[in-house]
Chains A and B, each alone.
Chain A
Amino acid sequence: SQTIHQWPATLVQPVGSPLSLECTVEGTSNPNLYWYRQAAGRGLQLLFYSVGIGQISSEVPQNLSASRPQDRQFILSSKKLLLSDSGFYLCAWSDYTDTQYFGPGTRLTVL
């Protein structure tokens, strides 16, 4: 069966510091991968998605970037965090169907 992992689970970072969040998927090959951000009490905002290694599509202009160095690894990064980057970051995967399956999320607090 497929499993999706995210780490760290929680993170507290100062403004201006770099960020690296990691997502890995097990049990499937060539998945579509997605990064979402969720503000407190709000819906999900799609940030990036990837249909293959090295292929990244950005949905929202911002100071975040994504990379996919391996087939089942998706990384969300920032060079300098802003206060507005605080939120709950969710990674998801899908295969040839349209169903997306979410990971446990990373709670990021920027102080």
Chain B
Amino acid sequence: GESVGLHLPTLSVQEGDNSIINCAYSNSASDYFIWYKQESGKGPQFIIDIRSNMDKRQGQRVTVLLNKTVKHLSLQIAATQPGDSAVYFCAEKTEGAQKLVFGQGTRLTINP
């Protein structure tokens, strides 16, 4: 069945370094992918998304990479800041489906 998983449940980085959060998916029919940031006690916040006809998309300090060959998605955060501390979720969706399938999340902590 469909599943979206994360390689690491936690990630600790030094402030100022780049962070890379990885996500694997199993459904080759998935055509839409999205990353959310969730701070403690708050609802998930949209970060960036990408469709399957693209390999890379950039936002402000964030880049999402999609490798459809190995069904792998990653979120890169440049110059990580203390405010980036949160749990990051990836999610995927197949064309025509109404729902997103979420991964379990990666907790990103920033070391000063």
- Chain A interface (Cβ < 8 Å from any Cβ of B): 32, 34, 42-44, 46, 49, 51, 57, 59, 90, 92, 98-105, 107
Contact = CB atoms under 8 A, between A and B. Distances in A.
B7 interface: no
B102 interface: yes
A92 to B, nearest CB: 8
Contacts of A32: 98
B14 interface: no
B98 A49 contact: yes
Interface residues of B, number: 19
Contacts of A51: 98
Given A99-B46, A101-B46, 18 more contacts: A43-B89, A43-B102, A43-B104, A44-B44, A44-B89, A49-B99, A51-B98, A57-B98, A59-B99, A90-B43, A98-B32, A100-B34, A102-B43, A102-B44, A104-B43, A105-B41, A105-B43, A107-B41
Given A42-B104, A43-B89, A43-B104, A102 B99 contact: no
Given A43-B89, A43-B102, A49-B99, A98 B49 contact: yes
A34 B99 CA distance: 9
B58 interface: no
Nearest to A32: B98
A98 B34 contact: yes
B61 interface: no
Contacts of B89: 43-44
